[in-house]
Structure 1
């Protein structure tokens, strides 16, 4: 699944892992150990300017211009994304889906991976998984296969670790892009800041 609202998403969110350490509710990857949370869920600390609003084009360019890492923390139970809704319906009905809305996103991940740039994502989920989270686990096989590293963390462990309650992207460990959604889970826009300290 793409960035849930970036210009590349709709005009653009595997390699299964099994065995020891596997996530208890999927075969997409190991559950994240608490001791690694600070490494995998980085957040800018120290000084920084206030968040400033980004246009859709500015946000979209960040996915193509970062140098090393693009990290995403997803904290919501679901996302109301027009281009995903039909695929979610098909998934729940066990119908075949070619996921045309995901093709540009997967190409971008493959290209970045070939250049040595990495996409990482942690999804905070409640148990039992919501329909949307089950759909996300299914979609992860394609994004992981393209080179993104997606991990899952239960909501109680995320709360215990003090993770933020909001979604964000963090580019190259210094460009924070906080994502905003309305009460019906629709994407509203983003605000950004650069780490200065």
Structure 2
């Protein structure tokens, strides 16, 4: 099923227990983020006011005992996008999102290859997975939801395998 932006926004605020998000791309081109990343690249100050709505949502989830986890699989050295993303993550972490970083090379250690779905995804309450599909330039194409237990199991297992290797944001250093 195709998930609209409005439906997805509702999912981000209405889950009961947990939302887990796996990111696997080295760069994105979201229309919201591009102007702010350009400021960063130019060395200009960004007050991050544009993140405050998401941070407020995260604080609400945290206060209600819900968990929000994000694992970012990244190539090292980090792309400019990921360096920027690291530089703005602190307010989200402070608000309650557990953001962790996984150097891509850790997923292919001999005898321990971690298989991942082809697209980024969110898993909500282990009952719904939403796959995020992107064009080559990093812009969102579409979101595809599934309640198929096989899809959910695949994504939950993939996320947990990555999470075991993940480095908490406060401990991950950018070189």
Report the TM-score, using the length of structure 2 for normalisation.
Answer: 0.78
Higher relative contact order structure (alpha carbons within 8 Å, sequence separation ≥ 6): 1
Q: 1: CA distance between counterparts of 2:6 and 2:54?
A: 15
In structure 1, runs of 5+ residues without a counterpart are 1-51
| CA RMSD, Structure 1 to Structure 2 (Å) | 1.4
CA drift at 1:195: 4.1
Q: Which has a greater percent of helix? A: 2
In structure 2, runs of 5+ residues without a counterpart are 151-175
Q: Counterparts in 2 of 1:171-182, with a 5 A limit?
A: 171-182=124-135
Q: Provide the secondary structure at the position in 2 that maps to 1:82.
A: coil
Q: Which has a greater percent of strand? A: 2
Q: Deviations over 1:129-179 (max 9, x none)?
A: 111000111111111011000011111223432223320000011210000
Q: Counterparts in 2 of 1:131-150, with a 5 A limit?
A: 131-150=80-99
Contact 1:84-1:101 within 8 A present in 2 as well: no
Q: 2: CA distance between counterparts of 1:117 and 1:83?
A: 26
Q: 1: CA distance between counterparts of 2:130 and 2:120?
A: 9
1:69 aligns with 2:41: no
Q: 2: CA distance between counterparts of 1:80 and 1:161?
A: 26
Once superposed, which parts of structure 1, at least 4 consecutive aligned residues long, lie more than 6 Å away?
Answer: none
Residue 143 (structure 2) aligns with: 190
Aligned length: 146
Contact 2:48-2:88 within 8 A present in 1 as well: no
